[in-house]
Amino acid sequence: EIVLTQSPGTLSLSPGERATLSCRASQSVSRNFLAWYHHKPGQAPRLLIYDASNRATGIPDRFSGSGSGTDFTLTISRLEPEDFAVYYCQQYGNSPFTFGQGTRLEIK
């Protein structure tokens, strides 16, 4: 099973600032099949990025994904109020599909 470790656990920033979130895999993610999701309590997770660097339909270009192999990054260039939430990475290259433990992005 591929274990995904996200860092930091919590990130405190202000609107307008840049956020950088990390996701590290215990072994190489097949075909860079890695996604990022945004999740607020009481809501369904929302797909942001797939295949490591492709933005999902309707996702603003302030969100970008990068990385390959075992190290991946989600960058939010200028934080908007609605961006404060928990972010999860997920690998879907190997079964069982696994998720990171999440990074909580909170308003400073």
Residues engaged in binding another protein (CB under 8 A): 30-31, 33, 35, 37, 43-47, 50-51, 56-57, 88, 90, 92-93, 95-102
Shortest Cβ 17–another protein spacing (Å)? 26
Identify which of residues 31 and 108 has a Cβ nearer to another protein in the complex.
31
Report the candidate in 66, 68, 73 with the shortest Cα–Cα distance to residue 6: 73
Tokens of 54: 């492709």
Shortest Cβ 14–another protein spacing (Å)? 27
Which SS3 state, helix, strand or coil, does residue 101 take? coil
Report how far residue 83's alpha carbon sits from residue 20's, in angstroms, rounded to the nearest whole number: 13
